[in-house]
Structure 1
Amino acid sequence: MQNLSLMLVPVLAAQKAAGDGLIKPLGHHELLLVLVQLSLLLLVARGLGELMRRINLPPVVGELLAGVLLGPSLFGLLLPDLQAHIFPKSQEQSNLLSVISWLGVLFLLIVTGLETDLKLILRKGKTALLISLGGIIIPFITGFGLGWLLPDNFLADPEKRLVFSLFIATAMSISAVPVIAKVLMDLNLIRRDIGQVTLAAGMTDDTIGWILLSVVSGLASSGKFDLGTIFHSVSAAILFLAIAFTIGRTIVDQILRWVDDYVGGIAASMSVVLILSLAAAALTHALGLEAALGAFVLGILAGQSRRFSNEAGHMLEVFTASFLAPIFFASAGLKVNLLALLVPQTLLFGLIVLAVACVGKFTGAYLGSRVGGLSHWEGLAMGSGMNARGAMEIVVATIGLSLGVLNPQMYSIIVMVAIVTSLMAPPLLRWTLSKVVMSEEEARRLEQEEQDSRSFIKQIQRVLIPTSGGPNIQLAAQLVGYMAHQNSIEVTSLYALSDKQPQKKGRRAATQVKDTAAEEALASVAEEMQLPDDTTLQTKMESGRSKAEVILNEANKNYDLIVLGASEQIRPQKTLFNLLVDRVVQEAPCATMVVKSHLPQAKGKICKIAQQKLTKILVPTVGTEYSKNAVEMASTIAAQTGALVMIVNVINLPQVEYILYEQRSLTPVKEIAHDLLEQQAAIGRNLGADVKTYILQGSSPEREILKFAQTQEVDLIILGSSIRMVTGRVFFGHRVDAILSKAHCPVAVITTP
């Protein structure tokens, strides 16, 4: 105890000595002001954004104008005392708002990264690079010439014209990726080829621009060229991108996997992406690059991982669009004082700077686009998008002002250029892109993406297969293997154990038997699946209070599909399959597929079944979402096996006679059935399957389906159904029950919660 007191003496003495320097909490008035600022900025930004939407303009236009109206240009002109009180010219107060604005920049770029198709960008990489080079070189040359010719009274120090000219050249070269991204999102163009190329070119443009800025800033600080600074900036950017898209991709994916496996949930998925993105932003900032680059790259890497939750991405996008992005865009406009630009000389040269900025960027991006193989209108669209400078140029102007390169007069001009070019971008993009003819390849890609977004089978990325051996789960594993060859999925094979201990006398022997059974069951499933080399397979042996609880606990870790083997030949009363399967189907948080093989099951050992040859797959349909899911599953399996998908709809004759009592005709009902079948068949053909449709008639749909299956020698029946609860047991309906129990071939039933 005495030793502890002696150790604490120096610490306490140091704290006492530093007592006067303790950091005070945020003051009452400062907190009040920032809350009022945020509420006012958000109110005006969202209000004007919705107004712009109503008049068919992107909301970002209104969000940018909000800051201008709340700044000295209007609010400060009408109520100068109130405006100065709410938005005081205090560095400390301004910094509070700047932090939130920077969060808006970073969040917007994370969301943009999540939406970025890296494969498409790589395919268009040459074009993007040419556009970026054109959008850097020509504006840099014209900006340098402009800086060399401007009158001395626009320079903070006329003796440093070279540095001033280089700074103006750099400011003319910058593009505002957050503004471009927001405009593309507002116009629903971010998934278009032109949208992805614009983003790629904009990020390349910005990366080069920020390297140039770091070089020019170093020059402004030291007064001489520093080759070390140039080498450091270039090498840091190349090194970061190289590491990020090689080992960084694997690291991010493994982190997301670990969090998904051991924590799970949308909140965890969203939190880990934000942590990684902010850390990457801090890293690029520490390297002397732009923090936005790190956030954007991490967004891309997270978006490529199968384990990142789509729901988390959607929540992040909603939060950004509704709060952080409007605050960022509105706060950018607060710094603009249009009144200072009304001085004749300032206005004249301000217009000249604006014209040079627009012409240089438009010309450079257009020429780069044409050399890269884009059309005339696509080139103009690229120029329109790349011309937006946004808050990035405001940051450049702020840096220039703090370094003594720009005077207040020139600072106002550059900020005006940033705002005006950002306001020009949306209407120009809308106009030019309306003239762009979409290629057949792009139209097919977008149509396919739209279909995939609504597809049941395309949303399946993680599959859980609980196993204890037997023909049912082995056949189920074969079906999963066919799926894996058509869609990129992850598979987890689980052997569940109950914690109920055997009698003491035979405990050790029983445990050894369990371990052997688990190994055999897991190995059997892995062998039956015959997964592609690039498919991830995990095997687990977990224990809990009951086997069903173990399976359900694992299923809650963001799986998309649970694949189960059905009951043994003898099943307990009041169950559809058995107590275990029924409970899992009933409580599953995701879709389930239960497979009943109708093959003999040996007792006491794993009885390996032969690879089942599938030539005909039958799918009964009534046009529901459940039936569509069954069609998609059957078509995916058929695309791999070459089987024929036979989609049938049964017209129930007694019901038809009752409904059509006046007409006494089946023609209208047959026409409805035909249209329904064609819609379902189109889904199957789109997935690469050979599909035929059949209309059956009879008083018992299940009997007609079973008769048709036997006559046509069907190898597999896939049913889509909803779960109904009848006296505590799982019930799919009498027809599904009848087909499950009386079919001569394997049956799979797919349900969704």
Structure 2
Amino acid sequence: SAVYNIVFSILYIVIMFLAIRPFLRMVGQIYHNKEVIDKGIVAFILLLLVISSYFTEILGLHALFGAFIAGVVMPENIKFRKIMTEKVEDVSLALFLPLFFASTGLRTEIGLIDSSEQWILCTIFILVAIVGKFGGAMFSARFVGESWKDSLYIGALMNTRGLMELVVLTIGYEMGILTPSVFVMLVIMTLVTTFMTTPLVSFIKFCYKTHDKIIEQKRKKNEMGLFKVLLSFGRAGNGQIMLDVAYQMFAQGKNKLDLTALHLTVGSDVNPLHTDNFEEVSFGPILYGAKKLGLQIHTRYEISDNAGLDICNIVNNEGFDFLLVGAGISLSNTPDDIAANRYRTSFYNRFLKRFKAPESWFYPGSLLKDKTKLFIEQTQCPVGVFVNRNFVKATNAIIIINSADDLFLIDYAKTLLRTTCGKATFLNLYNGNNEESEQIKTALSEANETTNGLLVSPEKKLTAHLFNDFNFMLISYKSWNTLSEQKVAALQSMPSTLILSNNHRQVKKEAIKG
């Protein structure tokens, strides 16, 4: 029986690699895009998977081995593999994988470990597994030239690779190789090494915190004279528009503009095969725009489970001087965003019974509910929230002054005018007659006298028709919070807008003033 199994297993492998693989290579060359891969091809691949698993099962091997060999002989064409992965991955991860874990859990009876000797043996299993996986991966990474920090991270992440362990344990249990008590011990070992990953990574990060601060201080010394801007965008088209905004706002400052474009894909379960394509599509327009402007930018692509928190950490830990983000679709007036916002409002009204007036399609206060509030409150540098309303160029800007706290906008307006060579008009909405009022009037008068193109409007009220002459607006975050509640109707007609916060960390004012 053993000879029979060995001979036919070898024959099976030979057929799969010498007959099936060349055939599949030809299939991959013909069917390499979504237009030509139809349901028949997908059904054929799945049928091949089932047949391969069935043959290994009747040969005395496990069905998993046949499924693995079927995956190995798939066409090497990366496009074919990406498409097939997309078609089967969601079903396998969302349906079959949870069923496998549930099945394993049902077979695991913790009560079988009922003596101190067995618990000691279980502890030994856990220690050996940690030393083998963590230590082996760490020293291997160090051997090939990785730093100690990265080597420790690699060891910690390899230590969590428990899925294949569960698969092997299940096979061993089904074949009678493992006793029920040993099976439970090894399952516990798998769970412990998996759940310890996050605390272990956090501990490594804590240990290197002081070391990283020293490196950060050296890096800051090398970056003196740069005004570092982080531009975080979602949709590819918005990236190019926000690049134009950043260029017009900061390119003519005293310090050289150092711009980093950041795009995050939310969801750590994104297949690594897809990330290159995501990165290429996302950064294409913004790189094209940077080339037209003659501006060198850094691009940064990451996968994240918490985009808002990760953006704040990047800004605070890497010494950025300004964060530029988009406001989302609720404030945009582009056709696609209007349609999406109306659909969302209709959905809420229908299913959540929150009946609102039609103006709820555009509600300025909705910005406060977005993640942009997190950026403004958690970052240690100024933040700009850009509202795209068919932005092209800020040649005629309006700057809203609602209190003396808004006077920091004067420096931004001056830098903007040096780039656009246009006009900027201050709208003073402060109604008091006191020291603060005089401070505002004096500052605006000085700006008007010393800077060409800076004007002061005689208007004292914010109305919809006032925006007809302007294509860009600057407003502070504090004033936005106030006016978005008081002037909803007027703000429906506002142009493209940059909402600026003057956050905690000292701004490089000379970089803005020039």
Q: Structure 2-normalised TM-score?
A: 0.34
* Greater C-alpha Rg: 1
